Amino acid sequence: MKSYYYKVGGHAFAIHFADEANDDRLIPSFAPFLLEGKPEEALLFTMTVDDSLDWQEEGDEIGVFDCGGCDYGVYCMADGGYQYAVNDVDGVLCSRMRSKADFSQCQVSLFGKTFVQRNYGLNNALMMAYAFAAACTRTMLMHASVIRCDGKGYLMTAPSGTGKSTHTRLWYDNIPGCDLMNDDNPVVRIIEGQAIVFGSPWSGKTRCYRNIQAPVGGIVRIQQRPENTIRKLRTVEAFCNLLPAMSNMKWDERVYNGVCDGIGELIRIVGMYELGCLPNAEAAILCHDTVAADKD
């Protein structure tokens, strides 16, 4: 068995490969987060990858987890744990994952025939295990593009295809001192009353896998509009906009309540803006000058 230890967003976890067919080369985006050995701290979760596992019993289907346009079947097992069927955009079964109820231990088998399918199956299993195991620790995996400017991270969130990446690129091109932290799924944590954003191994189509962190400077929801406008959202508006942006399971009380509590603290600490914009430099400058100046 080959074992690897990683730390993402300040949480350490282990991946054990039970056979010779699989190893860490399946997940190259995790390389910046690799630890030299087993950490002394408690592990967030342990995942065993074993293609020989028996997957005949699926349990009762209780929901579907939407992950970037791909729907994963979710099944409740007799012991209170879960089983997932991870399909790619073409409907190919790439992996199955079983977990304990608290996601502290997970088992995965890879069914994909190509490297891309096997990478997809394992990468997404790890993403779900991380998000759901960490939900009660004020840790959230957020669908956002995050740009760092003057030492702070600014998170841009919106439905896929709305222009998050375009807007962070406009910051990078037009505002000095900017660099991209993550382009799809950064980790956001509340630590001792401060909101911190971390890079992660999950960054969508952009290969931005950076083991870095920064205090959250602001959160902005992007909307395409015929003119550039910006306003601060009321607390209830911010909550309703952030909840769909977080990896969550509404049918699991532990996970759902943990995410909701984390969102509440995040809004209290940093607030949230809505930017109606065109894809131009003026929009980025308006957003930066407004959000970066907010001291509330």
pTM for the full model? 0.94
Q: Is residue 296 part of a domain?
A: no
Q: Is residue 48 part of a domain?
A: yes
**Residue-number span of the structural domain to which 14 is assigned:** 2-133
pLDDT at 68: 59
> Both 25 and 102 in a single domain?
yes
pLDDT at 105: 97
**Structure tokens given for 26:** 């399946």
Indicate the residue among 94, 118, 133 that finishes a domain: 133
> Both 274 and 146 in a single domain?
yes
> Both 60 and 121 in a single domain?
yes
Say how far apart CA 247 and CA 277 lie, in whole Å.
26
> Both 54 and 107 in a single domain?
yes
> Both 71 and 184 in a single domain?
no
Q: Burial-class residue 69 by CB neighbours within 10 Å (0-12, 13-18, 19+).
A: exposed
Indicate the residue among 133, 166, 181 that finishes a domain: 133
pLDDT at 73: 81
Indicate the residue among 91, 108, 133 that finishes a domain: 133
> Both 122 and 255 in a single domain?
no
pLDDT at 169: 94
> Both 16 and 89 in a single domain?
yes
Q: What is the pLDDT of residues 127-180, one digit of tens each?
A: 999 999 999 999 999 999 999 999 999 999 988 778 889 999 999 999 999 999
> Both 70 and 173 in a single domain?
no
Say how far apart CA 197 and CA 148 lie, in whole Å.
10
pLDDT at 66: 65
> Both 183 and 260 in a single domain?
yes
pLDDT at 295: 64
Contact 70, 55 (CB under 8 A): no
Q: How many domains does the chain have?
A: 2
> Both 105 and 153 in a single domain?
no
> Both 276 and 157 in a single domain?
yes
pLDDT at 61: 77
CATH number assigned to the domain comprising residue 144: 3.40.50
Digits of tens for pLDDT over the chain (296 positions)? Answer: 899 999 999 999 999 999 888 999 999 999 999 999 999 999 999 999 999 998 866 667 777 766 656 677 888 888 889 999 998 888 899 999 999 999 999 999 999 999 999 999 999 999 999 999 999 999 999 999 999 999 999 999 988 778 889 999 999 999 999 999 999 999 999 999 999 999 999 998 899 999 999 999 999 999 999 999 999 999 999 999 999 999 998 889 999 999 999 999 999 999 999 999 999 999 999 999 999 988 65
For the chain, the DSSP string reads -EEEEEEETTEEEEEEE-STT--GGG-GGGGGGB-SS--SSPPS-EEEE-TT-------EEEEEEEETTEEEEEEE-TTS-EEEEEE-TT--EEEEEEE-TTSSEEEEEE--SSHHHHHHHHHHHHHHHHHHHSGGGTEEEB--EEEEETTEEEEEE-STTSSHHHHHHHHHHHSTTEEEEESS--EEEEETTEEEEE--S--TTS------EEEEEEEEEEEE-SS-EEEEPPHHHHHHHHGGGB---TT-HHHHHHHHHHHHHHHHHH--EEEEE-SSHHHHHHHHHHHTT---
